[in-house]
Amino acid sequence: MREEQYEISGMHCAACSASVERVTRRLEGVERSDVNLTTGIMTICYDEAKVTPEQIIKKVEKAGFGAALRQKEEEKQEASAEQTDAEESALKRKKTELIVSGIFSAVLLYVSMGQMLPFGLPSLPVPEFVDMHAHGVNFAILQLLLAIPVLYCGRNFFIGGFKALFHGNPNMDSLVAIGSACSFAYSVVMTFLIDYDVHYVHNLYYESAAVVLTLVSLGKFMESRNMQKTKGAITALMRLSPDTAILALSGHEVPTKALKVGDLVLVKPGERVPVDGIVTEGESSVNEAMLTGESMPVEKHPGSEVIGGSVNQNGVLTVKVSRTGEDTTLSRIIRFVEDAQGKKAPIARVADKVAGIFVPVVMTIAALAAVPWAIAGQPLSFVLRVFTSVLVIACPCALGLATPTAIMVGTGLGAKHGILIRSGEILEITHSVDTVVLDKTGTVTEGKPAVTKLTAIGCKEEDLLRTAAAVEAVSAHPLAESICAYAKEKGLENLPKPETFENLSGRGLKATVEGQTVLAGNHRLLEEQGVDATPLVSQADALAAQGQTPMYFARNGVLLGLISVADPVKETSLTAIEKIKKSGIHTVLLTGDSRAAAEHIGSLVGVDEVIAEVLPEEKAGVVQKLQSEGRKVMMVGDGINDAPALTAATVGCAIGSGSDIAIESADIVLMRDDLMDVQRSLRLSGLTLRHIKQNLFWAFCYNTIGIPIAAGALYLFGGPLLSPMFAGAAMSLSSVCVVGNALRLGRAKL
């Protein structure tokens, strides 16, 4: 099976997207077809042996829409600015047409309704030659002339609406077009009949046809403007990558897309890093906030990794390119967010099913509502008013926009905080998680050893650390590196170099420093060399039971002290796990370490359950066992050995600094090494789902209440008959409210 994405043009409402889904799913060999109205993207999975891209495109075009295979990542980023400019131009054109429509509609309302104000209000003066009573034909012709510019400005409703209707896929534009066309055509006929009977002057509905188009256009304009804001996250990310880069060796400026792995580029203060790379020269602070959500600048020096799109704040950096094109972190983030925004959440399918049959049902309801009034003896003008109001007020747009807009804003908000969510489905189901399984090393802990305890007996602590660092400086062991790093942190420099050095396998080191014999290693080494370690044995055993690695140091046969090294708990782990537990979620620490070491770390961070001594290949089995108990499990990890468990979990969550395999296996990627983002992702899911439910409720509620009123339910009981103008205003307002509510999510605090 092959999965591809197509850009669909010509869609105006949920009925349109449902039509595209319907016709493509009918093709033999198509397994799945989902269309996102908000992004205009169709994701289709099909058997290449049975159907071709040409057949898919032809089928979509036959249904009345445009289709084109989606651009590759690099082309897409190049076209993003042009696309944004095109959208802005289209929005300006809509605004101009809306202003023209508004002016002509206002004058038309003044002329048509000014002499018929309700509630005993005085009539508004109009020139005598267009007085409805004295010059009925002039009165009608003036309205006709005022309505024509409005209909022209709203021509897309007629072009798109009738085109969709003739293709057998009626949409929202079809409803508006039929309603306005009926009102306008009826009014034109009445205009010609006024000469025969002056009373026909009261049966003109030019203002209904024009004002409905103006109000719906207003709603569409506000909807389009707000929809641009929902795409803000992607647009902002695409604009992070600079167009050019400076080659360090030649000083020449070249296009960023021309860079190759291994090239050296110069990044000056205030400039953006063009692509991912490693600093070879220079030191600076780099702002990575747009990519990781980390507000504080990160210090960079030779050997540090830098991310393309981040901002160099001070100092000049020479960077060796490590990744280009689609492999860069920025491209992967963009792809992650776009995929999430393009895929549907399960809750969206309910609305889509309704929207797919909504327009034909509404047209049927409009006809069924009009016929009884005609049978009851109501004049044609009354029947037309009911028919038009039902068509205009019933808007499937609100239903279609309810879910994708919230998904777009939610994933954008997550990206802004360094939380990348793979799909709308994951964004929805994350809220249902009731168990969080945390890998220990690199997730709860720092993932690299550090000095945790220093005890000096035969000397001062500084002397012990100085001697230990001098010996360990010649060792490549990770524990040795942590002692040297600790000494540097304490300001100990210009350490003496060992004159002799011997590595004693399984026991430690023996060296000569400044003419003195120094031992560094375990209890066995000291016993062999005749050094009494009794004063520190109990302390060393206690530290070892906690999963730490204690190392003894002696000089000239005299015990100097003990330095213990361990993988320390991250600063935020305790607070993050407390917050996760407060949400009513069961927390589990999963590790291959000994039971005693795991229990110690578990007690430090306050997890509910500890599962220790688990082999890497057994982690997925632990997750599956929890799921078999009915739990919805989120697995949080960072290593290659976590990948199977991340895939097996209900929701797999990878720490961004982890391995590429872990990140590719995960449903959620946290760009920062901060467990607080686990709680933020859970909260983001809950907030997004709440906004989706609010949108769907109001969309369904609006149509449930609006359609009966438009059909004349209130008039039956002595109430007013809904005017098509008010129906148009209500319909536009429903879509604007749904999009506005989704945008409100973007201001939420995680």
pLDDT one-digit tens code per residue, 557-589: 899 999 998 888 888 899 999 999 999 999 999
What integer pLDDT is reported at residue 204 of this predicted model? Answer: 82
Mean pLDDT of the chain: 83
User: Would you state the pLDDT for residue 436?
Assistant: 96
Q: Is residue 47 within 8 Å of residue 309, measured between CB atoms?
A: no
Strand 311-312: give its sheet, edge to edge.
298-300, 284-287, 311-312
CB–CB of 470/498 below 8 Å? yes
Contact partners, residue 198, CB within 8 Å, separation at least 6: 133, 136
What Cα–Cα distance (Å) separates residue 391 from each residue in 388, 401, 402, 492? 5, 19, 21, 81
SS3 assignment, position 14: helix
Q: Is the Cβ–Cβ distance between 613 and 595 less than 8 Å?
A: yes
Q: Which SS3 state, helix, strand or coil, does residue 499 take?
A: coil
List pLDDT tens digits, range 239-296.
778 889 999 988 899 998 889 999 999 999 989 999 999 999 998 888 876 666 555 6
Burial class (CB in 10 A: 0-12, 13-18, 19+), 28: exposed
Q: For a pLDDT cut of 90, what percent of the chain falls above it?
A: 24
Inform me whether the pLDDT recorded for 614 exceeds 60: yes
Active site residues: 439
Q: CA torsion, points 212, 216, 219, 221, in degrees to nearest 10? A: -120
Phi, psi (degrees; rounded to nearest 5) at 140: -70, -40
Q: Is the pLDDT of residue 722 over 50?
A: yes
What pLDDT digit, counting tens, does each position of 305-355 carry?
898 888 898 889 999 999 988 888 888 777 777 676 666 666 666 666 666
Calpha distance 746→666 (Å, rounded): 24
Band the pLDDT of 417: cuts 50, 70, 90: confident
* Confidence check: pLDDT of 117 > 60: no
Model confidence at 698, pLDDT cuts 50, 70, 90, reads: confident
Tokens of 135: 């010059």
Which pLDDT belongs to residue 232? 60
Instruction: Please give the residue that has the higher pLDDT: either 220 or 595.
Output: 595
pLDDT-derived band at 121, boundaries 50, 70, 90: very low
Cβ atoms 98, 221 nearer than 8 A: yes
Q: Where are the beta strands (DSSP E) in 268-381?
A: 277-281, 284-287, 298-300, 305-306, 311-312, 317-321
Q: With bands split at pLDDT 50, 70 and 90, how would you rate the model's confidence at 120?
A: very low
Closest by CA position to 140, among listed 57, 59, 198: 198
Task: Label residue 223 left, alpha or beta by phi (over 0 means left) and psi (-120 to 50 means alpha).
Answer: alpha
Distance of alpha carbon 334 from alpha carbon 290, whole angstroms? 12
Q: What domains are defined for the chain?
A: 2-70 (3.30.70.100), 81-232+339-407+691-745 (no CATH), 242-327 (2.70.150.10), 418-444+569-683 (3.40.50.1000), 450-566 (3.40.1110.10)
State the Cα angle at 360 between 358 and 362, rounded to 5°. 65
Q: For 554, how many CA atoms within 13 A lie in the half-sphere containing its CB?
A: 25
The CA distance from 728 to 246, in Å, is 56
What values do phi and psi take at 516, rounded to 5?
Answer: -110, 145
Q: What pLDDT was estimated at residue 136?
A: 83
Q: Contact at 8 Å (CB) between 637 and 656?
A: no
Non-local CB neighbours of 127 within 8 Å, separated by 6+ positions: none
| Cβ-Cβ contacts under 8 Å for 342 (sequence gap 6 or more) | 5, 36, 39, 41, 43
Q: Alpha-carbon distance 358 to 363, whole Å?
A: 9
Place of tokens 């279609």: 400
> How many angstroms separate the CA atoms of 293 and 285, rounded?
16
Model confidence, pTM? 0.70
Cα angle 263, 267, 270; round to 5: 160
Contacts of 412 (CB under 8 A, 6+ apart): 230, 231, 232, 233, 234, 337, 341, 746
Q: What is the pLDDT of residues 503-557, one digit of tens each?
A: 887 788 899 988 999 999 888 889 888 988 889 999 998 888 887 889 999 999 8
For residue 171 the two structure tokens come to 């949409």
Spatial distance between the Cα atoms of 5 and 18, rounded to a whole number of angstroms: 16
When pLDDT is averaged across residues 67-80 and rounded to a whole number, the result is: 63
What backbone phi and psi angles, to 5 degrees, belong to 217? Answer: -65, -40
pLDDT digits (tens, 9 = 90+) for 198-207: 878 877 878 8
Closest CA to 391 of 155, 163, 170: 170
